[in-house]
Structure 1
Amino acid sequence: MEKQKKTRFKFDAEYQGIARICVVGIGGGGGNAVNSMIEHGLESVEFMVINTDAQDLKKSLAKHKIQAGRELTKGLGAGARPDVGVQAMMECIDEIETALHGFDMVFVTAGMGGGTGTGGVSIVSDIARRLGILVVAIVTKPFEFENKQRMQYALAGIDRLRNNIDTLIIIPNERLLDIADETTNLAEAFQRADNVLSDATRGISDLITKTGLINLDFADVRTTIKDSGTAIMGVETGDIKTGAATITLDAISSPLMDGVSIAGARNVLVNLTAGSIPIKEVNAAMAVIKDEAGTDAEIITGVVVDPEMEGKMRITVIATGFDRVKTPKGREGKKLRLEDDDFGYKGEDNLKVLDKPAWERRGLAEPKKNVTLGEQKIRYLSEDDAPSKKKEPSPSDKVPAFLRKMMD
């Protein structure tokens, strides 16, 4: 019989019997996001932070903390070097594995471009996946005013991360400026980024952990998220008097969607939260989602009643399972209206243009031919997928696959 893993972390017993969810903030940006979630009252999840900066770690509001790279960095941080972040995580890989043991779902969050978060988020995600945990990564890309090297580090880190998660949500910080005004200062801009990470996590976790008018269980969410790759997310809060349809339109045309439509998504997760929700408003919101996503999308909806949201409605939309295709230039930066038709008939002189396929007129990439849903993502089995045998693992078994390939 396999030995029960021991952990120095004591998690709340009240969560036994339901899906156990943990939010792991990695590095300074991830730690700030966790603090924002705690301050905003995100409930029914556990919080953990991992950092190489001992001073920053002390400021965390999370109950569970791991200092990575004690010997390597001496508690002074990774110096904005992702390779140091990787080495620091490898130093405490056993401690991270023990801390994650027993969870059903893990959110890993980090600000990409620095050292600890960029280097460490792939390590933590890989450990969680090896434990059979559903992994959602929610990360930010740097603002354009940050140095070029930081953006290069961020993009490289995101590429590594893609292979170690079930779902990846990327928040481009630059897009936050589109919803800021001229008086927004630097500190407020970074706070907005933290708030978006919090909203994204809440939008998924509330569907599982909160009692609602329309409840979803963990299996519903797992179906949508598992092995779905890159996802896009939109979230909007508004006065319920403006109407759920308008709030939903704002959510799916949010700058955070980075100009990408939910059209073509195989799975769409929708969370409606309000103090009280008239059934006609739920119907209006879902009509907008169905019209935009298309008839082939599987839409999973949760409706949560939150007394603190009286008079307001928050709609979170997460779309997964499709190739990222940029919307036409005419759409970018504008509010989406479902009746818009930028490509319709424009007179007899336009007939020759209309002879071209729609995808060519719209400036999109040529669609793949004869591709079925089952062929959209092929994952080849490797040694890592083989059933584990009851034997003592060798030291190399704990090294993430992408690092072993680099060493070969």
Structure 2
Amino acid sequence: MDKGRAERGAQPRNEQTAAAAEREKLRLTLETETRAGARIKVIGIGGGGSNAVNRMVRSGLAGVEFIVANTDVQALQLSPAPTKIQVGNKLTKGLGAGADPNVGRNAALEDTDKIIEVLDGADMVFVTTGLGGGTGTGAAPVIASLATELGALTIAVVTKPFKFEGRRRQAQAERGLAELRDCVDTVITIPNERLLATIDRRTPLTEAFAAADDILRQAIQGISDLILVPGLINLDFADVKAIASGMGFAIMGTGFAEGDNRSVEAANRAISSPLLEEASVKGARGVIINISGGPDCSLLEVNEAASIIQEAAHEDANIIFGAVVDPELEGKVKITVIATGFDRPTPALMPGSASGQTPVDLSSYASWQSERPAGAPAPARVAISRRGAIDLPVAPVRHGHAAEADAEADADPQLERGVGVATGTDDARAREMPAFLRRQHED
């Protein structure tokens, strides 16, 4: 009798053990097939881009891998970025590009193996630089082409020179921007001249340039935070990709406000930022709205802000909405807007993305607090499928400077000993040659 009871008691335990084993097997399968999130890399090119990345590193921007690329070895040695690439050592002997974009372009072409090595594996690459000079203007399209062909969503965030920097530099910036636009999914341009409307008349020149660097940081952090910071209504890589993939020029604005009318004021500031190239989201067919506020941020405020931005965009715009509660924003509201697809068809929604038209269904915002257990982890990320290689048009490259360079020059030994410096490998050189380089060799 006791034996029978023991056998009956053992059966449920055996069933529980089998069920637990099955759940563990399923968990391991899901962990194997699902990635934790997008791998984001930021590469700063030339002096302006490197300065912006240096500022991001020092600000503690998390969840992003930082790279700087430059012809100037001294500037590289001063950078706190963990990964540094000296490009064009044979061409420039470790000096700068002399404000010549052709030198910058050829310098990047000299070291494509290093560039591929550090960019490989990224789901999203930010290319940042100050246009108008030599290294950034010339090398950025080459590096962006490589990032795109490696399958990454590639977004360029660039500044255009002040007027006092001269017509030649402005003309070089416009030519570089035209080349860059053909090599990336989306490009955000920030004219430095617009900074004059946001800074004091007596601001020193060094602080003005530092402010320009910080605007680049804000733009990149604004987008990366959308992906990396979990929210009540969560945005992720799929949402950004739906709006930014192959969309050309884009604008981004951020608005802060506090007080009784904070959501309306923040929304208006976000869509009319003096730093935006066109200073308007009118006609945008793809828009991301992210609203961050303290625990006191109400559903009505969220609806008011989203409605203002919806009315400013194209009537058929694909609007993706996210909301984040940040205790540090008690009494304040921060709104980030990214607008793309000007004069383009409405971008298709990506399967599984949190996309939808505005007015959005805000019921999840209202019910989240009561439904989600305290301390619950952020939602798991969805698997990310990489894009195939894209055959991109790139402007013809003149090799005059490269032909004059010493083909046997050695890389700077001091830089090569630095931690995180990419030197290239035989495996990297053996990779399939990018399309734009194949065309040059075939010509």
Residue 264 (1) aligns with residue 271 (2)? no
2:272 is aligned with what amino acid?
A: S
Q: Residues 310 and 49 of structure 1: is their aligned pair in 2 closer, same or farther, counting only changes over 3 Å?
A: farther
Question: Is this contact kept in 1: 2:104–2:135, CA < 8 A?
Answer: yes
Match of 1:212?
Answer: 231
- Distance (Å, rounded) in 2 between the aligned partners of 1:83 and 1:271: 40
Match of 2:335 in 1: 315
Contact preservation (8 Å) 2:117, 2:428: no
- Post-superposition Cα deviations, 1:291-337, rounded to whole Å, max 9, x if no partner, equal 1114311111222233444443322211100139xxxxxxxxxxxxx
Q: Is the 8 A contact 1:50 1:66 kept in 2?
A: yes
Match for 1:321: what amino acid? G
Contact 1:127–1:400 (8 Å) recurs in 2: no
Kindly provide the amino acid, as one letter, of the partner of residue 26 in structure 1.
I
Residues 267 and 298, structure 1, Cα contact 8 Å, conserved in 2: yes
Question: Residue 114 of structure 1: which of 128, 133, 137 is its match?
Answer: 133
Matches within 5 A, 1:37-186: 37-186=56-205
What is residue 349 of structure 1 aligned with on the other side? none
3, 28, 49: which one aligns with 1:30: 49
Aligned to 1:293: 313
Is 1:304 paired with 2:304?
Answer: no
Provide the C-alpha distance between the structure 2 equivalents of 1:278 and 1:284, rounded to a whole number of angstroms.
Answer: 10
Q: Is the 8 A contact 1:235 1:251 kept in 2?
A: yes
Letter in 2 for 1:278: S
Aligned Cα RMSD in Å? 2.7
- Is the deviation greater in 189-198 or in 124-133? 189-198
Deviation for aligned residue 1:187: 1.4
Indicate whether 1:384 and 2:391 are aligned. Answer: yes
Structure 1 runs, 4 residues or longer, greater than 6 Å off:
392-397
How many equivalent pairs are there? 332
Pair 208,405 (structure 1): closer, same or farther in 2 beyond 3 Å: same
Q: What does 1:318-397 correspond to in 2, within 5 Å?
A: 318-323=338-343, 384=391
Return 279-288 or 303-312, whichever deviates more.
303-312
Deviations 1:85-104 (A, max 9, x none): 11111111011101111110
Give the distance between the partners of 2:191 and 2:428, measured in 1 at CA.
Answer: 39
> The residue matched to 2:195 in structure 1 has which SS?
helix
* Structure 1 counterpart of 2:340, one-letter code: T
**CA 1:186/1:394 → structure 2, altered by over 3 Å: closer, same or farther?**
closer
1:24 touches 1:106 (CA, 8 Å); kept in 2? yes
The alpha-carbon deviation at position 406 of structure 1 amounts to 11
Note if contact 2:149-2:390 (Cα within 8 Å) is conserved in structure 1: no
Q: Equivalent residue of 2:165, what SS?
A: coil
Deviation at 1:259, TM superposition (A): 4.0
Structure 1 vs Structure 2: percent identity of aligned residues?
Answer: 50
Query: 1:86 is matched by which residue type in structure 2?
Result: R
**Preserved CA contact (<8 Å) 2:189 2:276:** no
CA distance in 2 between partners of 1:61 and 1:216 (Å): 30
Normalised to the residue count of structure 1, the TM-score between the two structures is 0.75
Measure the CA separation in 2 of the matches of 1:267 and 1:288. Answer: 15
Letter of the 2:65 counterpart: E
Change (3 A) 1:155 1:400: farther
CA distance in 2: counterparts of 1:91 and 1:399, whole angstroms? 14
Structure 1 pair 310/59, CA: closer, same or farther in 2 (3 Å)?
A: farther
What CA distance in whole angstroms lies between the structure 2 residues aligned with 1:307 and 1:319? 27
C-alpha separation in 2, matches of 1:231 and 1:403:
30
1:108 is matched by which residue type in structure 2? V
Deviation, structure 1 residue 218: 1.4
**Structure 2 SS opposite 1:316:** strand
Match of 2:232, SS?
strand
State the alpha-carbon separation in 1 of the partners of residues 201 and 142 from structure 2: 39
- Range moving further from structure 2, 231-240 or 158-167: 231-240
Counterparts of 1:406 and 1:136, CA distance in 2: 27
SS at match of 1:256: coil
Deviations 1:67-115 (Å, cap 9, x if unpaired)?
1112211211111111111111111101110111111000000000011
Distance 1:55 1:311, change over 3 A: farther
Task: Tell me how far apart the structure 1 counterparts of residues 327 and 276 of structure 2 sit (CA, whole Å).
Answer: 28
- Paired AA for residue 384 in structure 1: D
In 1, are the aligned partners of 2:186 and 2:247 still within 8 Å (CA)? yes
Does the CA-based 8 Å contact 1:126-1:400 persist in structure 2? no
Offset at residue 220 of structure 1 (A): 1.4
State the distance in 2 between where 1:27 and 1:140 align.
Answer: 12
For the pair shown, the structure with the greater C-alpha radius of gyration is: 2
Contact 1:200 1:316 in 2 (8 A): no
Q: 1:17 & 1:163 partners in 2: Cα distance?
A: 31
Q: In structure 2, what residue type is equivalent to 1:82?
A: P
In the TM superposition, what is the alpha-carbon distance from 1:48 to its structure 2 partner?
0.7
Give secondary structure in 2 for the equivalent of 1:258: coil
SS of the aligned residue for 2:202 comes to coil
State the AA in 1 paired with 2:147.
A
Cα pair 1:167 1:225 within 8 Å, conserved: yes
1:128/1:135 contact within 8 Å kept: yes
Matched with 2:300 is 280
Q: Which residues of 2 match residues 393-404 of structure 1 at below 5 A?
A: 398=433, 401=436, 404=439
Aligned counterparts of 2:148 and 2:255: Cα–Cα separation in 1: 31
Give the drift of 1:16. 5.9
1:199 to partner: Cα distance: 1.4
Shift of the 95–406 alpha-carbon distance from structure 1 to 2, 3 Å rule, reads: closer
